[in-house]
Structure 1
Amino acid sequence: MSPGDEHDGYGGSGQTRTRLPEGNTGDVHGGTRRPARGSRSLLTGAGVVVLLVAAIAFANRGGGDPAGSSPSSGTPGKAGATAPTGTRPVTGTNGTVPTGFAHDEQGAQSAAANYATALGSTDMYQKGPREALIRAVYAPEVVDARVADLGKGYGDKALLGRMGLQPDGTAPQGLTFVARTIPVGTKVESYSQERATVSVWHSYLFGLAGEESRNPVSEAWYTKTYELLWTAGDWKIVDVSQKDGPVPVGRDQRASSAQDMADAVEQFGGFTYAR
């Protein structure tokens, strides 16, 4: 699990479709060879990952199933096309979290992808935003327990200090805190009218961008599996598990400067993910 994960770490199958805002596209080709990173920075980053895994993994493992039996297993299918379906899958927001997902497999995939993005954000490290976010995405049957358990992990001041953050979960002056989940695709593991199990394959950016950072922004890859419940007219999380990968081979590109990374995070907004 990487720092920033809200859990162990977040039938037919399909890939998420991204609604892209207009903007410039970047160079997709490789650049010059990146310089080797100092061993101290690498060890520091690895240590942060291990620390947060220990603090949060247990907290986000829910207890038993509070809402009945598991959904029946779906039949695995081929990856679905990313063409528009004609059905608007998201109808509103709860704070910064999309809500109003369709009551079908596509809606469950949309919910899982957007919840992964929300729960992998910097808001999880600040008490007020964290509680609001958790209450927006978890099912009523488990939400109070998740608020308490995740608060212990993300609110641990000693842990935040080792990550380079201030006691309130924000970045020190002159640094930019980066915690961003980028879904690549989703897969329906099983589905029924009341319950769905959806896996989200994603990359994750985490670290502090800035010249004085001891925990530079790095990338990791995970697959999170969400147990979702249809309740009060929307899909909500009951439980989450995570595993590493699949991890692609890294491109031979030169790492960007700390300032370029900070500027990119501040200037490029996130997406609403939908089937």
Structure 2
Amino acid sequence: MSIGGDDGYGGDYDGHDTGRARGAASGGHLTRTRLPEGDGDPYGPPRRGTGRTGKPSRNLITVVGVVVLLLAAIAFVNRGGGKDGDSDSGGGGGGTGAESQPTAPTGQRPVEGKNSVTGIASGFPKTAQGAQSAGANYAVALTSADMLKQDLRHELVPQIFTRSAAGLLQAKLDKAYSADSLEKIGLDAEGKAPDGMTYISRTAPIGTKVSKFARTAATVEVWCTGVFGTAGEGSKTPVTNDWFTMTLKLRWVGGDWKAESFSQKNGPAPINSDRTASSADEIAKAVEQYGGFTYAR
């Protein structure tokens, strides 16, 4: 759902073919190859032993193999370090650790908790990864259906933004989500859908990146997809999907990352698939039955 123009404040809402390799027929005959003495003929009867040959028994080979594997496993565990906090969370290394996989856990605790009222994650680390986690969670909150309801919006904004930015932004958002704006998307002045309908606005971050990072400031870009619209029979704004990138300027304040401003632009967007759209009832039930996530880098 688009919640802003260039300034970030309010605005219009306006099977592939799997070829199988086939071997060429050679008349249907098998070619028998005689191997050197000591190697069995794969097509002939098994040789019978004529006594001790000096070769180790299969049991002995198996035991030795198991011991070697155990020793290798122990060495691997010892080399990997003990507690999570002992591992290096930096970006270097040989490319085989978690740092080589952008969405893999890093071993750092992503957040300390959530606000009991709004449910927004808090306690992000004072790192580039912590700033990305904050940006992803704030993007989800800023594009949620709760932002259309004034009472909930007035609780969300102070949790997302710095104290100096929250007051000014609150007034701009109240103006952007005016009764006239809400009417255009089929909602009443309180941001509620008509009886029998459900307004949906849910965002899922696809990825994040840090454009700028300093000790107490960061600029984070969050690439998102989401669904928004009103589900129900006769809806004039049926639920559709959206792709956008939100840029948030963050400041380290009071032991946490808070937003100073945000902006939004369309895309990058993939080609739409030809998958059959679900019914309005299925979409409404899905939003009620499937909960959201706390996003962490």
Fold conserved (TM > 0.5)? Answer: yes
Cα distance in 2 between the residues matched to 1:8 and 1:129: 24
Identity rate of aligned residues, in percent?
45
Q: Which has the higher strand share?
A: 1
Aligned residue among 223, 231, 248 for 1:226? 248
Preserved contact between residue 5 and residue 265 of structure 2 (Cα < 8 Å): no
SS in structure 1 of the partner of residue 168 of structure 2 = helix
Cα distance in 2 between the residues matched to 1:148 and 1:175: 29
* Structure 1 letter corresponding to 2:137: N
Q: Counterpart in 2 of 1:114?
A: 137
Cα distance in 2 between the residues matched to 1:79 and 1:134: 35
* Structure 2 letter corresponding to 1:84: P
Cα distance in 1 between the residues matched to 2:225 and 2:175: 25
Give TM-score, length-normalised by structure 2.
Answer: 0.67
Cα displacement string for residues 210-230 of structure 1 (whole angstroms, at most 9, x for unaligned residues):
112111001111111110000
Matches within 5 A, 1:202-221: 202-221=224-243
Cα displacement string for residues 245-271 of structure 1 (whole angstroms, at most 9, x for unaligned residues):
110011110011111111111111111
Give the superposition deviation at 1:198.
Answer: 0.6
Cα distance in 2 between the residues matched to 1:105 and 1:168: 38
Cα displacement string for residues 27-52 of structure 1 (whole angstroms, at most 9, x for unaligned residues):
xxxxxxxxxxxxxxxxxxxxxx9734
1:173 paired to 2:173 = no
SS in structure 2 of the partner of residue 169 of structure 1 = coil
Cα distance in 1 between the residues matched to 2:129 and 2:161: 19
Matches within 5 A, 1:1-275: 2-3=1-2, 5=3, 8=6, 51-52=12-13, 81-94=102-115, 95=117, 96-154=119-177, 156-275=178-297
Preserved contact between residue 5 and residue 264 of structure 2 (Cα < 8 Å): yes
* Structure 1 letter corresponding to 2:254: A
Cα distance in 1 between the residues matched to 2:128 and 2:134: 10
Preserved contact between residue 6 and residue 150 of structure 1 (Cα < 8 Å): no
Give the superposition deviation at 1:174.
Answer: 0.2
Give the superposition deviation at 1:85.
Answer: 1.0
Preserved contact between residue 8 and residue 240 of structure 1 (Cα < 8 Å): no
Preserved contact between residue 175 and residue 212 of structure 1 (Cα < 8 Å): no
Aligned-residue CA RMSD in angstroms?
Answer: 1.9
SS in structure 1 of the partner of residue 180 of structure 2 = helix
Cα distance in 2 between the residues matched to 1:192 and 1:92: 24
Preserved contact between residue 131 and residue 218 of structure 2 (Cα < 8 Å): yes
Cα displacement string for residues 135-169 of structure 1 (whole angstroms, at most 9, x for unaligned residues):
10001121100111111111x11121121011110
Give TM-score, length-normalised by structure 1.
Answer: 0.72
Cα displacement string for residues 191-234 of structure 1 (whole angstroms, at most 9, x for unaligned residues):
01100011000012110001121110011111111100000000
Q: Which structure would you say has the larger RCO, counting Cα contacts within 8 Å and 6 or more residues apart? A: 1
Unaligned 5+ segments in structure 1 are 11-48, 54-77
Cα distance in 2 between the residues matched to 1:105 and 1:148: 30
Give the superposition deviation at 1:186.
Answer: 0.1
Unaligned 5+ segments in structure 2 are 15-98
